[in-house]
């Protein structure tokens, strides 16, 4: 990746922003520390000045002026690098002792620049200052005592160097981290981009690599892969549906064309012609019903019917469908019963018409494919997870290897191809169940088939 591209990455910009914030925080902390340390050192310097002044006054009061002059001369002689200044003047203002020959008089404690002192021995930096005070000696003259700010300046220089190195290290570390994180994040984003490009080229099996670190990119990668899995499934479903439509409708359309062509070239009587036309209309109606069923399933899968969702009692739906189809089952030589008469309410949020159509499709599927004498049972059970709708029969059932296939559009078992139907009944059942957030499972009823539809728990409020 080029540096210009890297600096435009989100990770690099975040690193740069945090660098600025951290550097500003360090600078503020340093400024506070710089000021506080300076004040503390100045305070200690003032305490030292007071202690020295008090010591000199004590000597003067106890031992006299001459003894004080000797002490001042000794201290001035040992003052290293002129970090201390002493000047003792006699009653006439003449120089008596000290390492300074002259200084302007002032009251109180003041900072005195080294340039304001005369006769200061040795080399002294021009920026050096002295915290000084003139001390009156009753009847004997004046004493100037002062201490330089050299220690304060050295401490501040150390702090400044530490800040410089610290800020430089912080910026370099942050820039390095920004480049590393930006490069890493961009590589992950590039992998996502390469995968989407591959998908656009038709490579539906391409997936975004997941590093397994549990980071945000991994979470997004898994979500993208989940979406791609669903898109691939939908694409394959559409592809299979197109093939199934072409396969299943080719025969009736071809048969319809043959009948109409035969009618066109034949010398059929009006009654014979009417019979052919009636048969053709039945074929056309069957084809139209197939396309309407496909359109209905597509609308359901798109979620268009969710706007009509209301609170629905599944137990009430079961009771209504049982009442409508009990006689139909008897006419077919079968029986349809309720597993639990007088069932308690089992509430879900959904579409009453779709739920009724789903149950009707399951019952009609059993009536169509089971022999006379089959017993069909429907019922609802309330569980902690939510209502469960069960439809069971003791017919031939569905082989375990075919139980997933029967939910495909237009898919029909080999033994069912001679019976009426389009192979869309269970596809619609699955679409309605998924629209309601329910899971559907087929199991062996020993003998026969058991269909379980588990709805999510409905929280009222």
The full set of domain ranges for the chain reads 3-153, 216-301, 307-454
Dist. CA 79–CA 230, nearest whole Å: 87
Dist. CA 356–CA 326, nearest whole Å: 15
Contacts of 49 (CB under 8 A, 6+ apart): 109, 131, 132, 133, 145, 146, 147
pLDDT at 205 (0 to 100): 83
Dist. CA 57–CA 134, nearest whole Å: 12
User: What angle is formed at CA 450 by the lines to CA 448 and CA 456, rounded to 5 degrees?
Assistant: 175
Half-sphere exposure of 137 (CA within 13 A, CB side): 28
Q: Is 290 exposed, middle or buried (0-12, 13-18, 19+ CB in 10 A)?
A: buried
pLDDT at 44 (0 to 100): 92
Task: List the 109-113 sheet strands across, edge first.
Answer: 95-98, 84-89, 141-148, 129-137, 109-113
Dist. CA 57–CA 68, nearest whole Å: 8
Q: Is the Cβ–Cβ distance between 355 and 308 less than 8 Å?
A: no
- The torsion angle over the Cα atoms of residues 152, 155, 157 and 161, rounded to 10 degrees, is -160
User: What angle is formed at CA 273 by the lines to CA 269 and CA 277, rounded to 5 degrees?
Assistant: 170
First to last CA, the chain: 54
Classify strands 335-338 and 375-382 as parallel, antiparallel or unpaired.
parallel
Under DSSP, the state recorded for 102 is: B
Report CA 376 to chain centroid distance, whole Å.
49
Instruction: Could you list the beta-strand ranges (E) of 47-194.
Output: 84-89, 95-98, 109-113, 129-137, 141-148
Q: Is the Cβ–Cβ distance between 322 and 389 less than 8 Å?
A: no
Fold of 307-454: Heat Shock Protein 90 (3.30.565)
Q: Is the Cβ–Cβ distance between 225 and 210 less than 8 Å?
A: yes
Under DSSP, the state recorded for 165 is: H
Dist. CA 54–CA 51, nearest whole Å: 5
Dist. CA 20–CA 197, nearest whole Å: 37
CB atoms closer than 10 angstroms to residue 443: 15
pLDDT at 459 (0 to 100): 65
Tell me yes or no: is domain 3-153 CATH 3.30.450: yes
> Quick one: which of 433, 453, 439 has its CA closest to 350?
433
CATH architecture, domain defined by 216-301: Orthogonal Bundle (1.10)
CB atoms closer than 10 angstroms to residue 191: 17
Half-sphere exposure of 368 (CA within 13 A, CB side): 19
Using only the alpha carbons of the chain, give its radius of gyration: 49
User: What angle is formed at CA 285 by the lines to CA 281 and CA 290, rounded to 5 degrees?
Assistant: 150
Weakly modelled stretches of the chain, pLDDT under 70: 1-12, 80, 122, 237-238, 240-249, 251, 289-305, 341-344, 409-423, 459-461
Using the structure block, give the residue that is written with the tokens 């999510």.
456
**Does the pTM exceed 0.85?**
no
């Amino acid at each position: 990746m080029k540096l210009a591209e890297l600096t435009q990455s989100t990770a690099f910009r975040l690193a740069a922003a945090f660098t600025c914030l951290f550097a500003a925080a360090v600078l503020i902390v340093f400024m506070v520390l710089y000021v506080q340390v300076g004040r503390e050192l100045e305070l200690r310097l003032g305490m030292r000045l007071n202690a020295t002044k008090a010591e000199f006054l004590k000597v003067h009061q106890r031992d006299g002026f001459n003894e004080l002059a000797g002490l001042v001369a000794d201290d001035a002689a040992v003052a290293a690098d002129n970090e201390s200044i002493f000047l003792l003047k006699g009653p006439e203002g003449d120089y008596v002792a000290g390492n300074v020959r002259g200084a302007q008089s002032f009251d109180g404690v003041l900072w005195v620049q080294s340039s304001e002192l005369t006769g200061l021995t040795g080399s002294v930096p021009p920026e050096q200052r002295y915290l000084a005070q003139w001390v009156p000696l009753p009847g004997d003259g004046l004493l100037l005592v002062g201490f330089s700010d050299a220690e304060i300046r050295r401490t501040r220089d150390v702090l400044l160097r530490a800040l410089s190195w610290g800020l430089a290290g912080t910026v370099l570390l942050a820039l390095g981290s920004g480049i590393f994180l930006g490069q890493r994040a961009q590589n992950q984003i590039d992998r996502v981009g390469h995968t989407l490009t591959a998908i656009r080229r038709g490579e539906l099996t391409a997936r975004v690599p997941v590093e397994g670190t549990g980071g945000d990119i991994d979470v997004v990668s898994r979500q993208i892969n989940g979406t791609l899995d669903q898109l691939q499934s939908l694409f394959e479903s559409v592809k299979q549906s197109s093939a199934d439509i072409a396969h299943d409708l080719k025969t009736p359309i071809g048969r319809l064309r043959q009948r109409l062509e035969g009618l066109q070239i034949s010398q059929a009587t009006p009654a014979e012609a009417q019979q052919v036309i009636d048969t053709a209309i039945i074929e056309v109606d069957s084809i139209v019903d197939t396309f309407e069923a496909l359109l209905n399933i597509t609308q359901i899968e798109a979620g268009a019917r969710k706007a009509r969702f209301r609170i629905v009692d599944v137990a009430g739906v079961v009771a209504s469908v049982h009442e409508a189809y009990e006689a139909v089952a008897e006419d077919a030589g079968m029986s349809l019963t309720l597993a639990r008469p007088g069932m308690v309410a089992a509430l879900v949020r959904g579409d009453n018409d779709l739920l009724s159509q789903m149950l009707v499709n399951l019952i009609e599927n059993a009536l169509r494919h089971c022999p006379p004498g089959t017993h069909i049972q429907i019922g609802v059970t309330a569980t902690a997870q939510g209502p469960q709708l069960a439809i069971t029969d003791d017919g031939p059932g569905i082989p375990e290897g075919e139980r997933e296939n029967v939910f495909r559009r237009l898919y029909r078992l080999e033994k069912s191809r001679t019976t009426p139907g389009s192979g869309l009944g269970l596809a619609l059942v699955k679409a309605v169940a998924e629209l309601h957030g329910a899971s559907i499972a087929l199991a062996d009823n020993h003998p026969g088939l058991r269909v379980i539809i588990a709805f999510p728990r409905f929280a009222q409020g």
